[in-house]
């Protein structure tokens, strides 16, 4: 019997980010019960992970996208014995860089927070999305509208809290080196925020016991669950078919 599957959305995302994938998973008949976590008003990744663990079944497979991947790593840090499989999608593991690189990241994120406060979340999201999907998909009105609608369902306060959580993120490398469950590392080929090179580095940090698999989804940017749901569903089914940790 397949374990329950808990899906963790990224920054300002909700179950709509996973909506294109869910019917494909369920139609396969090869997944257990599926749930999507909401981060509420949390402003720390560890707090998000504790909230996730409080709502999750006793044992479950865990897949996190973008910021959700970092939350998933924190869940593994806190209660590794409860997690049977781990998927890290379009995400990262390193803490905020020191020096100028870190300062530039903070400034870039705070500029978006200020835009959300001054012009509204939808205006901020319209700016944000320009680098978050494959360039060819920027003309896909339905996809872009779904992303903007999803962001607009959350407030500027939620955005500011989640940005704070990302800036204060812990180092995920010790968790990666401790993993002992089937692990999938996946990103879009054209993900300009969480690059292929970043995922190769992440994959290299995973403990050998996890037998981590790295998959690259072609013709996709950062929003793989919404851009290429069929390819992601197939990768998740391969991952879930591996014997549980």
pLDDT at 74: 98
**Do 76 and 126 fall within a single domain?**
no
pLDDT at 138: 97
Phi, psi at 35, each rounded to 5°: -135, 150
This prediction has a pTM of 0.97
User: What band does 12 get if pLDDT is binned at 50, 70 and 90?
Assistant: very high
Last residue of a domain, one of 145, 164, 183: 164
Mean pLDDT of 31-44: 97
pLDDT of residue 2: 80
Token representation of residue 192: 């300009």
Domain that residue 189 falls in: 5-96+170-240
Clarify whether residues 145 and 200 are in a common domain.
Answer: no
Give pLDDT tens digits for 207-226: 999 999 999 999 999 999 99
DSSP per-residue string spanning 210-234: G--EEEEETT--S-HHHH-HHHHHH
Q: In this predicted structure, what is the pLDDT of residue 3?
A: 87
Same domain, 81 and 177: yes
245 lies in some domain? no
186 forms beta bridges with 89, 215
Domain count, the chain: 2
Banded model confidence at residue 188, pLDDT cuts 50, 70, 90: very high
Look at residue 167 in the predicted model and tell me its pLDDT. 97
SS3 138: helix
Residues 132 and 223 both lie in one domain: no
The pLDDT score that the predictor gives to residue 1 is 67
Taking phi over 0 as left and psi of -120 to 50 as alpha, with beta for the rest, 175 belongs to alpha
Residue-wise pLDDT for 44-68, tens only, equals 999 999 999 999 999 999 999 999 9
What is the rounded average pLDDT for all residues in the chain? Answer: 97
Q: How far is CA 160 from the centre of its chain?
A: 18
Answer whether residue 76 is part of any domain: yes
85 and 41 part of one domain: yes
Do 71 and 19 lie in one domain? The reply is: yes
87 shares its domain with 205: yes
Q: Domain boundary residue among 140, 164, 188?
A: 164
Distance CA 128, CA 221 (A): 13
The DSSP line for 55-118 is HS-SSEEEEEETHHHHHHHHHHHH-GGGEEEEEEES-----PPSHHHHHHHHHHHHHHHHHHHH
What pLDDT band is residue 181 in, cutting at 50, 70 and 90?
Answer: very high
């Amino acid at each position: 019997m397949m374990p329950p599957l808990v899906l963790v959305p990224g920054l300002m995302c909700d179950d709509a980010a996973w909506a294109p994938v869910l019917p494909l998973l369920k139609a396969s008949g090869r997944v257990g019960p599926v749930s999507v976590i909401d981060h509420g008003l949390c402003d720390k990744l560890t707090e998000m992970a504790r909230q996730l663990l409080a709502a999750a079944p006793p044992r479950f497979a865990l897949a996190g996208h973008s910021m959700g991947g970092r939350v998933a790593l924190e869940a593994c840090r806190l209660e590794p014995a409860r997690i049977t499989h781990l998927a890290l999608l379009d995400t990262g593991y390193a803490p905020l860089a020191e020096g100028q690189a870190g300062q530039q990241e903070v400034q870039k994120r705070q500029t978006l927070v200020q835009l959300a406060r001054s012009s509204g979340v939808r205006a901020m999201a319209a700016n944000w999305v320009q680098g978050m999907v494959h360039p060819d998909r920027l003309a896909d009105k339905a996809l872009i509208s779904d992303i903007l609608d999803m962001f607009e369902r959350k407030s500027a306060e939620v955005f500011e809290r989640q940005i704070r959580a990302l800036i204060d993120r812990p180092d995920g490398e010790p968790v990666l080196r401790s993993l002992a469950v089937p692990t999938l590392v996946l990103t879009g080929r054209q993900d300009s925020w969480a690059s292929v090179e970043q995922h190769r580095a992440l994959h290299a940090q995973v403990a050998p016991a996890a037998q981590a698999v790295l998959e690259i989804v072609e013709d996709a940017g950062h929003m793989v669950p919404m851009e290429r749901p069929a390819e992601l569903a197939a990768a998740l089914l391969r991952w879930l078919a591996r014997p549980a940790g």
